[in-house]
Structure 1
Amino acid sequence: MNFLFFAELCRKIESIKGRLDTIDLLSNAIREVECPDLPIFVRLILGKPFPDWSPLKLGIGPNLLYESVAYVTGRNREKVLSTLNSVGDLGRAVEEMLESKSQTSFFSEELTLAEVYSSFEAIAQAEGGKSQKERLRIIQRLFSVATPLEGHYITGILLDDMRIGVGEGNLRDAIAKAFDVDSGLVEHAQQILNDMGEVALLASQGKEALSHVRLHLFHPVRMMLARQGTISEVIADAGTIAVEYKYDGARFQFHKQGSTGRMYSRKLEDVTNSLPDVVSMLLNATDHNLILDGEVIAIKDGRPMPFQTVLKRFRRKHGVADAVEAIKLVPNVFDILLLDGEILLDQSFSERRKILTEVLRDYATPQLVSSDLIEIEQYYHQALDNGHEGVMLKLPNSRYTPGMRGKDWVKIKPEVDTLDLVAIGAEWGEGKRAHVYGSFLLAARQDDQLVPVSRVATGLSDEQLTWLYSTLKDEVIHSEGKMIFFEPRIVFEIGYSEIQQSPNYEGGFTLRFPRFVRVRDDKDIREANTIGDIEERYLTIHPELR
């Protein structure tokens, strides 16, 4: 398949307003793609060349794009930035600049989908001291051969920011329609495989292929998520519930086969080499091949330490041995997904818990099973007294649903209400903070887009502002006066006193007295809260408006 066909399809999708029309267009296109190209096509439509669990990452920031486009079009960096600032979107700016490129093959080559994907693989695999130059060379070559329209969507994929409005939901339904299979089968396969490209290939083979998807060791799945709620409402709805500590740590998924163990973060990144001590603990705690779900916390003098302490270990690439001595980590396991080849996702939580305690000698999280409000509240306060965030309430008959935030797990904690929002822009600080970003523009998700809902300036220390500036300065895509806009990469946990309706923000809501709590390095931007979440919280306080 020519990449130009892919780019033209993306342009058509951008022009469509309705969800059903988008699904129709996608499903028709998917039917036309030959099998070797199908996984690539589907991944690139999502703007993600590699599955989340893959060790391959593009890791391209806007600055490398600026340099590549400047070289290919014969402009200097300032001219590139000027064009970007006037257009406001890097993909469209690249398209405009490639209309008059100088270092060009005059379109003598036609890019294929496979060739573009091969280039992405080469970028992700570049290592060593000359890796940056190699990545630059590959991107320059792509832009020199690409048509302006192709350059637009190559840019979107490189920056993980396609902006065509296609998310996993639309793609799931399009794949189901293209191959006449049930969308539930497609969704279930995606929950297990975490690779919509592979799911599409299986769907092309029929429902039997989708029905036989299995969990595989060392191929992590997304972790089940919890919603906020209250103890009384969960008891009223479910009666007897399982109650566990809610830890202020970092989620992990542990895979073991024989004497080999590997650990994955909430974002499905392999963190085995950063946490050799935790891996060793879990290897020694069981004789079975399995997949475990849990949370690791840092301990000092018998008390849990803050979340940021754990993240220092998760981020660690060098000096791991010293870090092991400095920061003691302890795993807390609360679920089991696979045991000796048997998939446990569809078994009830109570049955999975029974299996877990039978096969794991240590590190299973404490649990209370009760329907008594007073007893559960006492357990909740015990968790707080022990230095934990609160408790998790889990329905005993619930199945494990990877990546889903349903009603079966509920988190209870006493902190001020918080939202997980994506930092999409910033404004320069003033005075002693004039050299860093002083406030941040925050967005919630809506229909696979990011919609501004608030700004935050309070709660940020000078050290945090310095770190955020150094982290985000290479992600800038354009500026407007004192405002800087960058690629959405980081999730902020934001506390607030109240949600208010607001005509000043596109999402229709804003936060009263927003306060920065922490950076959620463990969360992908797809896990940020939605406008729907914010509206639901608002209507909970104002039921008369429902």
Structure 2
Amino acid sequence: MSAPLQRFAELCEQLSTTNKKLEKRSLITDYLKSLTSEDASRATLFLSGQPFTEIDSRTLNVGGSLLSKVVSHLSGADQTAMYAAYRRNGDLGAAAFDLFQSRQKVPQVLTLKDIERALEDIAAAKGPTGKQPRLLDLLEKSTPLEAKYLIKLMSGDMRIGVKQSLVEEAIAFAYSAQPAEVRRAIMLTGSLPEVTAMAIAGTLNEAHMRLFHALGFMLASPVATVEEAIERFTEEIAAERSGVSEALPEEERLAKRVETAVDTTPLQAIREAQLEDKYDGVRAQLHCGDPREPGRVALFSRNREDIGESFPELIEAFEHISEPAILDGEIVAWNPTDQRALPFTSLQQRLGRKRVSREMRERTPVVFVAFDLLYLKEELLLERPLSERRSALEQFTESHETATMNCVQRGQADLFVDDTNDHFPRLILAPAVQLRSAEQLNRAYTEARARGNEGVMLKARLSIYQPGRRGLAWLKLKRELATLDVVVTGAEYGHGRRVGVLSDYTFAVRDGDELKNIGKAYSGLTDAEIDELTAFFKEHTLEDFGGFRTVEPLIVLEVAFNNIMRSDRHDSGFALRFPRILRIRIDKPVSEIDTLERAEEIYNTQPDKPQDS
């Protein structure tokens, strides 16, 4: 008999009421120990907020609008009652818990296995009409507490203060393993349930790398000036020389830096840096060459979505490579004549498309600019220093760039097309040089901008690759107007020629597990983009107030602004002055938007910052 869902929901409720990490870990550990191997595997996946594993391409495609309809139908609540419940609780799952209290008592019959099957059925159903009866059946059988966490799981927002890293630690503690062993096995396999079963069986050391699931991306910390870049990079090199491990949590690392500080001059630090251009494209991870699946190629965005359909010529080009590899790099629009990147605006029309026409391919050619090699043949290279990974990448590019010239367009429409213009390498090695002086860094930034790139990257040559981590080992220098990556939380109908479309967007930054609104913008997007967002937000509405609606926090925008001010207009305590949308960040997951702390940093570094009262 599978474990009851009610007990899982009670655990989630306990987890949501404490901020103590060790207490959360203890609760999860004790719960896992009480389960069979099969149920523990299901529970770890659900606790991490995922209905399916990373290597499973299925999605639920269940929006807030559909879930709201189901909750309203089952509870009998009208729009006013739904709105009031949502405003009281701040999310639909908690609102459903309130609204379902008035229902006739439901027996506790659902199990974790039942939920696994129900989620599979919902994912397989086509469109809202196919999914709605399955949702009704599932939530009708749920107790109020079960419904609360089922809705949270299906909407991708558990809000119990548990990240996957904490679940990984709990697995280790429950089954006498090391957290590093668990993390490595998950990175290799891409399956939390599979790794849970391996931990129970004591076979974590048997995990093998499986291509075609995205590894986490190593991230760079932003700096605005050459002086700031050198200062922060010097801190990083001093830590490396002190033997402070990059694998340590950031707070431990900072403490170790102070304890074991080694004097490092800026000039010494600079000479341990690799300098690259920062390209204005889409960060991507490319997998190819698996002998078990010859010809298969996958492209993953930073939010681990497969984006190969938007760039078919890259799939066609890399399918000729038979050497197993994972490349980290940037997809950029490319001028093959001048051998230089085109502006991001040239690439933007390609994003999110499932069908790319021959005309679009010819108008906006793309290449994969590789700057790191994460896996080669049968070896994961993450623990090797950047200098070694770079050397291997250079050899890989030299061996295979010619093969990537062959982009054969598929389909009968292309049988008689002269595709000679397609014959240029789609694999480009990102130029990199050793940094030797501050003057060189300043000059390199100017030259990178002249080439149409965003700025420059500064990387420690001895740094290991840390999936999902942002530290000082990689810095990005961009001298532009202040920008923030934010998520849209509300959409409003426009005025004048924009009446009838949702063109005014309220947006938020992260503050711990919460989202805090910080501004509103309505300029910067094209009419076509606004039309697409209007359709999207109507499908993902949480509350509809007529002219304004709250929406699921799914769309990430990059916004620029003149300055930032203290303000009680928004719950963040700040407001942006003259905000405008630079672009939709389809390549960026919500988990990586900017934080309230980052907004405060920008506020405090403004030369014309007003005095706080």
TM-score, normalisation: structure 1: 0.88
Please point out which of 551, 555, 570 is paired with 1:490: 555
Q: Distance in 2 between matches of 1:197 and 1:499?
A: 45
3-state SS, counterpart of residue 67 of structure 2: helix
Consecutive unaligned residues in structure 1, runs of 5 or more? none
Q: Distance in 2 between matches of 1:503 and 1:203?
A: 49
Once the two structures are TM-superposed, the CA of residue 78 in structure 1 deviates from its matched residue by 7.3
**Is the alpha carbon distance of 1:380 and 1:215 closer, same or farther for their aligned partners in structure 2, counting shifts above 3 Å?**
farther
Match of 1:278 among 305, 308, 314: 314
RMSD across aligned positions (CA): 3.0
Matched residue, 1:246: 278
CA distance in 1, matches of 2:545, 2:308: 42
Go from structure 1 to structure 2 and tell me whether the alpha carbon gap of 1:273 and 1:469 turns closer, same or farther (over 3 Å shift): closer
Q: Which residue of 2 aligns with 1:119?
A: 118
Identify the residue that residue 46 of structure 2 maps to in structure 1. Answer: 44
SS in 2 for 1:315: coil
Task: Please name the residue that 1:352 is paired with.
Answer: 389
Counterpart for residue 339 of structure 1: 376
Partners of 1:442 and 1:455 within 8 A in 2: yes
- 1:492–1:516 Cα contact (<8 Å) kept: yes
Please, which of 202, 216, 219 is the counterpart of residue 225 of structure 1?
A: 219
SS in 1 for 2:349: helix
Contact 1:85 1:480 survives alignment (8 Å): no
Quick check: 1:55 aligned with 2:120? Answer: no
Deviations 1:382-404 (A, max 9, x none): 22111111121111111111111
Per the TM alignment, residue 287 of structure 1 is displaced from its structure 2 partner at its CA by 4.7
Q: Deviations over 1:19-55 (max 9, x none)?
A: 3333332222222232101222122123211234531
How much has 1:249 moved relative to structure 2? 0.9
- Cα deviation for residue 195 of structure 1 reads 4.3
- Equivalent position SS for 2:350: helix
**In the alignment, is the contact (CA less than 8 A) between 2:311 and 2:356 conserved in 1?**
no
| TM-fit CA distance, 1:79 | 6.3
Q: Which residue of 2 aligns with 1:421?
A: 486
What secondary structure, in the 3-state scheme, does the structure 1 residue paired with 2:474 have? strand
Tell me, in whole angstroms, the C-alpha distance in 2 between the residues paired with 1:93 and 1:75: 11
* Residue of 145, 163, 168 corresponding to 2:141: 145
Range moving further from structure 2, 303-312 or 521-530: 303-312
Separation of aligned partners in 1, 2:88 and 2:472: 45
Residue 422 of structure 2 aligns with which residue?
Answer: none
1:64 aligned residue (44, 53, 66) = 66
Shift of 1:150: 1.2
In structure 1, the partner of 2:326 is: 291
In 2, the alpha carbon distance for the partners of 1:180 and 1:494 equals 46
Q: Return the alpha-carbon distance in structure 2 between the equivalents of residues 283 and 504 of structure 1.
A: 53
SS in 2 for 1:164: coil
In the TM superposition, what whole-angstrom CA distance separates every residue of 1:222-247 from its partner, at most 9, and x where no partner exists? 21111112444136245331111211
Instruction: Quote the Cα distance in structure 2 between the aligned partners of 1:292 and 1:319.
Output: 23
Decide whether the 8 Å contact of 2:350 with 2:356 is kept in 1: no
Aligned residues of 1:67 and 1:77 also touching (Cα < 8 A)? no
In structure 1, the partner of 2:94 is 92
Deviation of residue 191 (structure 1)?
4.5
Gap change, CA 1:51 and 1:538, over 3 Å in 2: farther
1:135 counterpart residue number: 131
Q: For residues 501-540 of structure 1, what are the alpha-carbon distances to aligned partners after superposition, in whole Å with 9 as ceiling and x for unaligned?
A: 4455444444343332111001110111223333444455
Residues 420-473 of structure 1 deviation map (CA, whole Å, 9 limit, x = unaligned): 111112344344434233432222223332222333344345444333222212
Partner of 2:430, secondary structure, is: coil
Contact 2:352 2:586 in 1 (8 A): no
- Matched AA of 1:296: I
Shift of 1:271: 2.6
Given that residues 27 and 175 in structure 1 are in contact (C-alpha distance below 8 angstroms), is that contact kept between their aligned partners in structure 2? yes
* More deviation, 308-317/115-124: 308-317
2:539 corresponds to which of 443, 466, 474:
474
Aligned residues: 536
Please state whether the residue corresponding to 2:429 is helix, strand or coil. Answer: coil
SS at match of 1:98: helix
Give the Cα separation in 2 of the matches to 1:427 and 1:312: 24
What is the alpha-carbon distance in structure 1 between the residues aligned to residue 443 and residue 58 of structure 2?
46
Gaps of 5+ in 2: 235-265, 402-427
Q: 1:511 to 1:193 in 2, by over 3 A?
A: farther
Q: What is the Cα deviation at residue 281 of structure 1? A: 2.5
What displacement does 1:346 show? Answer: 0.7
Cross-structure match for 2:152: 156
Asked if the contact 2:562/2:579 (under 8 Å) is kept, the reply is yes
Which amino acid is the alignment partner of residue 422 of structure 1?
A: V
For structure 1, which segment, 429-438 or 139-148, has the greater mean C-alpha deviation from structure 2 after superposition? 429-438
Query: How far, CA to CA, are the matches of 1:511 and 1:173 in structure 2?
Result: 39
Determine the structure 1 residue equivalent to 2:26.
24
Q: Which amino acid aligns with 1:494?
A: V
Q: Give 1:353 shift.
A: 0.8
Question: Does structure 2 conserve the Cα–Cα contact (< 8 Å) formed by 1:459 and 1:517?
Answer: yes
- Partners of 1:472 and 1:280 lie apart in 2 by 34
Task: State the AA in 1 paired with 2:48.
Answer: L
**Structure 1 residues 322 and 99, CA gap change in structure 2 (3 angstroms):** farther
Letter in 2 for 1:292: L
Give % identity. 31
Asked if structure 2 preserves the Cα contact closer than 8 Å seen for 1:53 and 1:269, the reply is no
Map 1:287-326 to 2 at 5 A: 287-300=322-335, 302=338, 304-326=341-363
Contact 1:53-1:268 within 8 A present in 2 as well = no
Q: Structure 1: how far apart are the matches of 2:112 and 2:361?
A: 45
Q: Determine the C-alpha separation between the residues in 2 that align with 1:392 and 1:154.
A: 43
Using the alignment, how far apart are the partners of 1:201 and 1:514 within structure 2?
Answer: 49
Residues 266 and 523 of structure 1 are in contact (CA less than 8 Å); yes or no, is this contact kept in structure 2? yes
Whichever residue aligns with residue 394 of structure 2, its letter is T
- What CA distance in whole angstroms lies between the structure 1 residues aligned with 2:53 and 2:347? 25
CA spacing shift, 1:452–1:51, aligned 2, 3 Å: farther
What is the Cα deviation at residue 63 of structure 1? 2.1
Q: Decide whether aligned partners of structure 1 residues 27 and 509 sit closer, same or farther in structure 2, where only a CA change above 3 A counts.
A: farther
Q: Counterpart of 2:318 in structure 1: which amino acid?
A: L
Distance 1:274 1:516, change over 3 A: closer
1:492 to partner: Cα distance: 1.2
Q: Which moved more, 1:290-299 or 1:224-233?
A: 224-233
| Cα contact 1:161–1:487 (8 A) shared by 2 | no
